[in-house]
Amino acid sequence: MSLPRWMEPLLEAGEMREIDRWAINERTIAVDELMERAGEGLAGVISRRAPAGRVVFVCGKGNNGGDGIVAARVLRQAGRDVEVLLVWPAEWMGSDAQAQLKKLPGAKPVAFEAGRLNKAQVIVDCVLGTGSSGKPRSPADQVISEMEAAKAPVIAADVPSGVDATTGEVEGPAVHCVATAAFHRPKVGLWVRPGKEYAGEVDIVDIGIPRGGPARPDAGLIGSGVLREVPRRGATSTKFSSGNVCIIGGSRGLTGAPAMTALAAMRAGAGYVTVGAPASLELSFTVRLLEAMVVGLPEDGDGHLDASGLEPVLKAVVRADAVVLGPGLSKNPQSQALARAVAPRIDVPLVVDADGLNALAGQLEEILAGRRWPTVLTPHAGELGRLLEVDSAEVERSRLRHVREAAAISKAFVVLKGDDTLVAAPSGRVAISRGRAPGLATAGTGDVLSGVIGAMLAKGMPVAQGACAGVYAHLRAGQIAAAPHGPDGVIASDVIASLPAALSA
């Protein structure tokens, strides 16, 4: 099944190998022709990023090294000062790469030695390439460490050495690059942390492989086209046909979270929003939310929702088109028990966030897998770790694997928040945010995201589109909010105020 039009395909290492094989065997494109185009494209990226100064290529023994040899030749012929260092002996290189060595004018390549990077103005990493995974072995590990320690900026050929092209995982030394020249199509690992942090700017290099091919990518970048899928209000719309969202949450001291979720849902186009919260806190919500309805729910006398409120909650959501469960709920045992009881019984699309997620820790399959309606979970790494009962550091080390695992277990769509926000379907397909909105790194923006996704689902969008549209609109709103003065002064309410502009862009 092909990706939707609004997703830019990303390739895994195995998929790229299949495409290379197809191009060579089925479309009869010679290996040296592909290598020439890759090297020429790499040289172009180097020229744009570093138009002057000494260029030092560090080349491995595979085709990645051959691509570097071609780029070195192109730059030498253009008059650049170029040195080529080989990590392994020249005779260990493949036949295609060795053929390129014979075409290299000027000084011959020399063996890599410590200290040879000291005079470089730019370093080009052509050591491992897409086929590498796991912890780099000697001598590559020492070479990678020296490139990382060098003062000169590094540009990678296809993928930074030490980064897994398929997953973005980094298990040993790796190179932080200012740019990566991605051949044919970008690889998944360039856009998923921690690999994303090493890739720098990703420049796509066309190497002449035609459209088509055997690969059917299961991951892609979320593009602006997803916002074209968002239903808009028309002349015959009503407040109910525009989407009815109900938010269940809130507790003493945590009234801001559900309030921001409600405001975000309204700014994202929901026509009718209700907040169900502890009855004693109704005044707090009423003064903040002039346009939303507030329903007081049973509480424990201390401002926390009580487990006895199951039926009142189900009554409060009966007319909703989507429900957001969890903002401001608190870790109170009664409130957590209520969330566990409510989640499987809500018969509309459900978004679970914040302490609603904490209530499901270790019980994803038991509570959610039997739901008849779509479910979206919106954890950060710590919350996903609790859901899967693993350490948050382990989640961050292998974000792609863990978000897919949670989606498969819960039969839900899981939105793992971060600069590389990942939207994983139960099938394993993953949509990835381009990120680069540092203004979102502030309290409350997660509540904003859950409200936006709730509004998208309430409008009747398919769950995959709705979750991705919410992620993209949230990202754009964060960028717009930061545009006047930079990201440091942005607060969550600024992001909410920027949602209409983000959705209309």
Q: How far apart are CA 225 and CA 467, in angstroms?
A: 14
The answer to whether the bond into 160 is cis (omega within 30° of 0) is no
Which residue carries 């005079």 as its tokens? 119
418 belongs to an annotated ligand binding site = yes
Query: Is 65 annotated in some ligand binding site?
Result: yes
Q: Is 172 annotated as a binding residue?
A: no
- Residue 260: left (phi > 0), alpha (psi -120 to 50), or beta? alpha
Paired tokens of 411:
């039969």
Q: Annotated binding residue at 353?
A: no
* 446 annotated to a ligand binding site: yes
Q: Looking at beta carbons, which pairs linking 277-286 to residues 24 or more positions away fall under 8 Å?
A: 277/248, 277/249, 277/250, 277/251, 277/305, 277/328, 278/250, 278/251, 278/252, 278/303, 278/304, 278/305, 280/252, 281/250, 281/251, 281/252, 281/255, 284/255, 285/250, 285/255, 285/258, 285/259
90-39-3-400 Cα dihedral, nearest 10 degrees = 50
134 known ligand binder: yes
Q: Is 81 known to sit in a ligand binding site?
A: no
Establish whether 158 is an annotated binding residue.
yes
132 is in an annotated binding site: yes
CA 15 – CA 254 distance, rounded (Å): 47
Q: In whole angstroms, what is the distance from residue 12 CA to residue 23 CA? A: 17
421 is in an annotated binding site: yes
Q: Could you give the 3-state DSSP secondary structure of residue 279? A: helix
Say whether 347 counts as a known binding-site residue: no
Q: Which residue has the tokens 């379907």?
A: 425
How far apart, in Å, do the first and last CA atoms of the chain sit? 29
Known binding residue 67? Answer is: yes
In whole angstroms, give the CA distance from residue 449 to residue 472: 10
DSSP one-letter string for 180-204: EEEESS-BGGGTSTTHHHHH-EEEE
Residue 391 labeled ligand binder: no
Q: Which residues are annotated as a binding site for (6S)-NADPHX?
A: 63-67, 129-135, 158, 257, 328, 380, 447
Q: Which residues are annotated as a binding site for AMP?
A: 417-421, 446
Q: Which residues are annotated as a binding site?
A: 63-67, 125, 129-135, 158, 161, 257, 328, 380, 417-421, 446-447
Q: Which residues are annotated as a binding site for K(+)?
A: 64, 125, 161
